[in-house]
Amino acid sequence: MIHTIDEELFTLVAEIEQLKKERKAVILAHYYQRPEIQDIADFVGDSLQLSQKAAMTDAEVIVFCGVHFMAESAAILSPNKVVLLPEANAGCPMADMVDAEGLRAYKKRVPGVQVVCYVNSSAEVKAESDICCTSSNAVKVVESLKGSEIVFVPDENLGRYTAQKLGRSLQLWPGYCKTHDRLTKDDILKAKKEHPLAKVIVHPECREEICQEADYVGSTAGLILYAQNTENQEFIVGTESGILHRLHQVCPTKDFYLASERLVCPNMKSTTLEKVRDALKTLTPRVTVNEEIRVKAKEALDRMLAL
């Protein structure tokens, strides 16, 4: 039986490779994707790395193995390319916690407020924002802004972390990542007891008390670099489970313990090899952005990429 599964997998991967050549396509995958999706990707990264890759690629088709806002960012930066999201319903609950209408109302109430928008947001929200940021560069982005009236949308945890790093006050939108929010301080303390020699590394989308317990707080790419560059051999990992695949690849001799079994994003896990193949076959589901919104959203993304 195992033999059959291996054969099926081999055939499926070969089919994807063939279709990719025919379509002149590139496959981008986030670190939170299933291991087999990361393995077939031309490039695996966090949202900043993938945004940059999408902008630079000369491929005609971008297959984005991630969630909707990521594919939208690729469509904003590469309007002449076909951008595919293999699972049309792969959304982001945090991105849904802010909408353009609500943000416009907020800007009316606080005239002159500058909007820093985490890339985990819709194209419409980006279009209403002054500048975008990712967890990799949020501190740098906020630091580049003059003036005190700044609102950070939609992730209050990343906003709070950024404000504390800079010693500045930010207005925080009440949004959060449902996956990272599942992690509790008790989870961390229990993991520390079980693995006393392990360093705790967490994503800034985690709650404040989690970040305070950590030895290192950083983006997915930052966590991977930290694990590679520190001499420590054991790590308690406070972010989505998909990162473990990459950590084991780049640090095969080190041990990684997921801080909680609940750190699984159903949206990130909804992309399968079959869906990637079908997307390449049919060139659907396609993600496009209304041109007027795209131009405005691109300005906010470009300001970030220029930094």
* 8 vs 14: CA distance, rounded Å: 10
Share of the chain above pLDDT 90, in %: 92
Split at pLDDT 50, 70, 90, the class of 3 is low
* 263 vs 139: CA distance, rounded Å: 25
Q: Specify burial of residue 272 (Cβ count, 10 A radius: 0-12, 13-18, 19+).
A: middle
Mean pLDDT of all residues in 51-55: 82
Split at pLDDT 50, 70, 90, the class of 4 is low
Domain 183-258 CATH assignment equals 3.40.50.10800:
yes
Contact of 48 with 132, CB cutoff 8 Å: no
Mean pLDDT of all residues in 100-121: 97
Sheet holding 25-30, edge to edge: 43-45, 25-30, 61-65, 82-84
Domains 2-91+268-288 and 95-176+293-306 share a fold: yes
* 254 vs 236: CA distance, rounded Å: 11
pLDDT of amino acid 54 = 83
What are the structure tokens assigned to 88, written together?
Answer: 């049309």
Determine the 3-state secondary structure of 121 from DSSP.
coil
Helices 291-306, 68-77: crossing angle, 10 deg rounding: 90
Share of the chain above pLDDT 70, in %: 98
Mean pLDDT of the chain: 96
- pLDDT (tens digit, 9 = 90+) per residue, 156-175? 999 999 999 999 999 999 99
* 295 vs 276: CA distance, rounded Å: 29
Q: What is the largest CA-CA distance in the chain?
A: 65
Residues 208-211: contacts with CB within 8 Å, 24+ apart?
A: 208/157, 208/160, 208/161, 209/185, 210/183, 210/184, 210/185, 210/238, 211/157, 211/161
In the DSSP assignment, the letter for residue 254 is S
pLDDT of amino acid 293 = 98
The residue type of 187 is: D
* 283 vs 162: CA distance, rounded Å: 39
pLDDT of amino acid 1 = 42
* 146 vs 188: CA distance, rounded Å: 37
- CATH superfamily, domain at 95-176+293-306: NadA-like (3.40.50.10800)
pLDDT of amino acid 62 = 96
- CATH superfamily, domain at 2-91+268-288: NadA-like (3.40.50.10800)
* Count of beta carbons in the 10 Å neighbourhood of residue 127: 22
- pLDDT (tens digit, 9 = 90+) per residue, 173-221? 999 999 999 999 999 999 999 999 999 999 999 999 999 999 999 999 9
- pLDDT (tens digit, 9 = 90+) per residue, 57-77? 899 999 999 999 999 999 999
* 246 vs 170: CA distance, rounded Å: 33
Which helix or strand (DSSP H or E) is residue 117 part of? strand 114-118
* 258 vs 250: CA distance, rounded Å: 17
Place of tokens 């560059």: 229
* Domain residue spans of the chain: 2-91+268-288, 95-176+293-306, 183-258
pTM comes to: 0.95
